[in-house]
A and B are shown apart, each in its own frame.
Chain A
Amino acid sequence: MKVKVISRSADEFTKERSQDLQRVFRNFDPSIRTQEKAVEYVRAQNAAKLDKIFARPFVGAMEGHIDSISCMAKNPNHLTGIFSGSMDGEIRLWNLASRRTVCRFPGHKGAVQGLTVSTDGHVLVSCGTDSTIRLWGVPVSNLLEEDVSSDKSAEPRETYVWKNAFRSVDHQWNSDRFATGGAGVDIWNHNRSAPEQSYQWGTDTVVSVRFNPGEPDILATSASDRSIALYDLRMGKPTSKFIMRTRTNSICWNPMEPINFTAANEDSNCYSFDCRKFGEATCVHMDHVSAVMDIDYSPTGREFVTGSYDRTVMIFPYNAGHKREIYHTKRMQRVFCVKYSCDGSYVISGSDDTNLRLWKSKASEQLGVLLPREQKKHEYHEAVKNRYKHLPEVKRIVRHRHLPKPIYKAGKQIREQNESQRKKHEKRKAHSAPGSIVQEPLRKRKIIKVE
């Protein structure tokens, strides 16, 4: 009588030679593995804790400037290069991989207020408080050699002197033109020593100027009369303008959704706007405790980095009200400019203490080449953490960030102030006729007038 019984031959299940890989057999039947959800939850907690253990965001500092850094520029054609300009007029080109200066561009007599690179990466345009615009040739070949750290300095190709100090400059995409902000908005060409076009709306200085990455003729500016204005170069006139409660220090367009831009404001918030509808902001990003000085979007368009007067650098998701990450150091003083690297993995901050600092955009990311097994493990940890990140124990670990004491206290104070304002408003509403007191949402409240 033949009876069928399980019989396994050891050859199939053990390896022949010591160099062979062990075979792995899978059976996904849930009855042989019990309490899967609890095991997943424990793994989510462990993944969150491991994330915190491996969170080392600071990569390095680039020293060399002798005065505070006022502006930075990057070019998408060269991933490892970044330009920085300081308050004493010195401009340097850095190699991010070796964190050394590649080339210097001395020449400005006062603070360098704006830096931008032409689209092909060959020409650097800088403007400053000495009312000059200088065009420099970028030593492209040097950028490719990593260990060249030279004291090379370049001469400006052109120097254009104008009537007023400049506050900002930005280059148009795929063209020879660039715009400066100073007394008004001026549109220049590389070859002309006088601006082609000049716009003036109001009498106040224009603090920052940005060209739209998707529509090259559209320009957004912010001025010290607390306004943000849109200009269209084809129409030859400014298009629209709205005034807020406080001044905007910097604007950045979302590279993936060019109809949206985010403005970094003096009242420690960032406001995202849709350029077609200026009546209200699409999102208010609140977490800084002091004026936000600079903002830059990641090339994915999904998050942006801000640098603030409160000595911190924060990374926000593009549609969320609060930060994802905060970076701070005792040595880093007021942050005046930030840039997201062109591959989206690093963040560069330039601050008052004359250093540029390189940070990782994801603090616990493992750099370098990963084995496929490591890659899969990281993906698994991310996935299991995201599945349970709303539960209190995992949420507590994921959300926790150490804040410096002044920031923590200032944040608490701001929250208390907001809470007391809200309570007063609620009481007024409760004690008056229903419907007589209406409060607009915060997105609208901050805009005073749309022209």
Chain B
Amino acid sequence: MLSTFSVSRILFPNIQSLGILTPKLLNLGPYTLDFTSSGRHMAVGGRKGHLAIVDMKTMGLIKEFQVRETVRDVVFLHNDLFFAAAQKSMANILMTGRYPYIYNRDGTELHCLKEHGAVLRLQFLKNHFLLASINNFGQLHYQDVTMGEMVGSYRTGIGRTDAMQVNPYNGVVALGQSLGTVSMWKPTSSAPLLRLLCHKGPVSAIAFHPNGHLMATAGKERKIKLWDLRKLGDEPLQTLPGNAKTLDFSQKGLLACQLGNGSSVQILRDLDGNQTYKTYMNHGMVKGFQIEKLLFRPYEDVLGIGHSMGWSSILIPGAGEPNFDTLVANPFETSKQRRESEVHSLLDKLPAETIMLDPAKIGTLKPERKKEKPTKQEKVAGIEAAVEVVKAIKLKKKTKGRSKPSKRTIKKKELIAKAKSPFLAQEMKEEEQVARKKQKTIEYVETPTSLLRFVRKKATA
């Protein structure tokens, strides 16, 4: 089979560098990479601390620098100006700095995110401007990068995991566990939305199809399974053999995974559209190269491979979306257009509460809740029923002058009051709770604005 690099050199001389590119980056560790949403820029991070941003149109290096710490993951924020790197200090045992850092395009360190801890994987939710991270204790953190507010941090109970992926369709974060379950999380709840038992061994990689229906998971027992997210059952749609450390779906639905040992790439495609994937292409690299990350480049027919000796790009016909929408992602963006689109995307920033499994639920009616609390009529009916029961009791007629009519009526009244008292006590309790809530809100409002900085803030969860 003709390898793709020779094709490109012969037939496409004007496409400068869409062939194999293998800069020899010696001994700086396996490389992980990330593209901006328009596919124009790529951020590269080597395990031994090499960070770089490359402009993929001109294949020009924008900036590269060495941070002298272990870098586990790199992710772009909303545009090519900012990217985050998950770093771990290896220099000094005393100086354990294991935090993600946010860098500028010029290589300046902008922020050190200490609350996240020793991060293994980072993901950016584009519509919500949330940076999600999972650290080696299994804690999931969501941070809003516009104002720096920590939206949620949860102990997932999963343990250490390397498999983390955002579903672009609905913004939920999927984490793979070492017991073989995949759990899906949203920033507003401490319990997962969904838990799915996928594999018999640990889950090593997860990938989502852009249309939101298909999920591919890879397990260490050398199986790749495809699941339909609309109809989650016990059985996957398809099971394929494969030992994949990394998976990725392209914009047109092609699935890239590893083949055999670590240096071949396999591309799968469903030709008929009935979600059965078959082999489309295989690509074998030099035998010593261990593949670290596979990522399709948006809007181009290119697959980026980060491996132990650097990074490569290969041509995959039919992978990318040929028609881009200028208002969504523009590979030919000028700086003016970039600034305007940044402002527009900030205005359209979604609040963290909108992340849900089915994003089309917004704007629909909530189904009527079954009334757990009794309505007013029911309460009144309850009181009346209790009073009727009491009225029907016949009082014993006492002798020796102890059964005077006045005493009997008093006794009857007491019994009725006793029957009513639990209902009234309940009402009073509810009113007291409402009053307390009102008081709390009033108390909160009453500190004047100039003194607000002295108010002690409660620790967030």
Contact = CB atoms under 8 A, between A and B. Distances in A.
A26 B326 contact: yes
Interface stretch (B45-53, B59-67, B104-112, B357-365): B357-365
Contacts of B89: none
Interface in B346-374: 347-351, 354, 359-360, 362-363
A278 to B, nearest CB: 40
B96 to A, nearest CB: 38
Contacts of B325: 25-28, 32-33
Contact of A25 (B2, B320, B326, B351): B326
A23 B351 CA distance: 32
B317 interface: yes
Contacts of B12: 5, 7
Interface stretch (B76-84, B152-160, B165-173, B193-201): B165-173
Interface in A1-59: 1-10, 13-14, 22-29, 31-35, 37-43, 46
B127 A6 contact: no
B332 interface: yes
B426 interface: no
A35 B350 CA distance: 9
Contacts of A369: none
Nearest to A44: B363
A14 B326 CA distance: 12
Interface string B382-402: 000000000000000000000
A39 B322 contact: no
B321 interface: yes
B127 A39 contact: yes
A34 B14 contact: no
Contacts of B317: 3-5
A25 to B, nearest CB: 5
B2 A34 contact: no
Given A7-B12, A42-B349, A27 B210 contact: no
Contact of B327 (A24, A34, A42): A24
Interface in B324-352: 324-329, 331-332, 334, 337, 347-351
Contact of B348 (A4, A22, A31, A39): A39
Interface in B1-36: 2, 4, 7-8, 11-12, 14-15, 18
Q: Chain B CB within 10 Å — which of A4, A22, A28 has the most?
A: A22
Interface string B294-327: 0000011100000000000001010011111111
Contact of B18 (A5, A28, A34, A37): A5
A10 to B, nearest CB: 7
Given A7-B14, A25-B323, A35 B359 contact: yes
A32 B251 contact: yes
B359 A6 contact: no
Contacts of A136: none
B359 A43 contact: no
Interface in B238-260: 251
A387 B299 CA distance: 33
Contacts of B360: 37
Interface in B158-193: 168-171
A23 B251 CA distance: 23
Nearest to A28: B325
B127 A34 contact: yes
A1 B7 contact: yes
A97 to B, nearest CB: 36
B261 interface: no
A173 interface: no
A27 B322 CA distance: 10
Interface residues of B, number: 48
Given A42-B349, A42-B350, A32 B337 contact: no
Contacts of A40: 363
B45 to A, nearest CB: 26
A6 B328 contact: no
B39 to A, nearest CB: 10
A388 B362 CA distance: 10
B323 A27 contact: yes
Contacts of B212: 31, 34
A438 interface: no
Nearest to A9: B14
Report which residue of B210, B315, B325 has the largest number of chain A beta carbons within 10 angstroms of its beta carbon: B325
A31 B210 contact: yes
Contacts of B347: 43, 46
A2 B315 CA distance: 13
A6 B362 CA distance: 36
B433 interface: no
B279 interface: no
B359 A37 contact: yes
Contacts of A32: 210, 251, 321, 324-325, 328-329
Nearest to B345: A39
B348 A43 contact: yes
B211 interface: yes
Choose among A34, A41, A43, A46 the residue with the greatest number of B CB atoms under 10 Å from its CB.
A34
A2 B10 CA distance: 10
B337 A5 contact: no
A391 interface: yes
Contact of B332 (A3, A14, A33, A46): A14
B324 A25 contact: yes
Interface in A119-160: none
Nearest to B170: A35
Interface in B198-230: 210-212
Contacts of B127: 34-35, 38-39
B299 A6 contact: yes
Contact of A38 (B15, B315, B359): B359
Contact of A37 (B11, B15, B363): B363
A40 B7 CA distance: 45
A415 to B, nearest CB: 20
Contacts of A5: 8, 12, 15, 18, 301, 315, 317
B11 A3 contact: yes
A1 B362 contact: no
B337 A22 contact: yes
Contacts of B331: 8, 13
B389 to A, nearest CB: 23
A305 B326 CA distance: 45
A24 B327 CA distance: 8
A385 to B, nearest CB: 13
Contacts of A31: 210-212, 251
Nearest to A25: B326
B362 A41 contact: yes
Contact of A7 (B15, B169, B334, B337): B15
A42 B352 CA distance: 12
A6 B251 contact: no
Contacts of B8: 5
Given A3-B11, A27-B321, A31-B210, A38 B301 contact: no
A46 B351 CA distance: 13
A341 B363 CA distance: 38
Contacts of A38: 127, 350, 354, 359, 362
A391 B7 CA distance: 56
A41 B326 contact: no
A6 B320 contact: yes
B20 to A, nearest CB: 14
A7 B322 CA distance: 9
Contact of B328 (A4, A33, A388): A33
B354 A35 contact: yes
Nearest to B364: A37
Given A32-B329, A34-B171, A38-B127, 16 more contacts: A5-B315, A6-B320, A10-B57, A14-B334, A25-B326, A28-B325, A32-B325, A32-B328, A34-B169, A34-B170, A34-B359, A35-B350, A39-B348, A40-B363, A41-B362, A46-B347
5 contacts: A6-B320, A7-B12, A26-B327, A34-B359, A37-B360
Which 6 residue pairs are nearest across A and B when measured between Cβ atoms? A27-B325, A38-B354, A13-B332, A27-B323, A5-B301, A24-B326
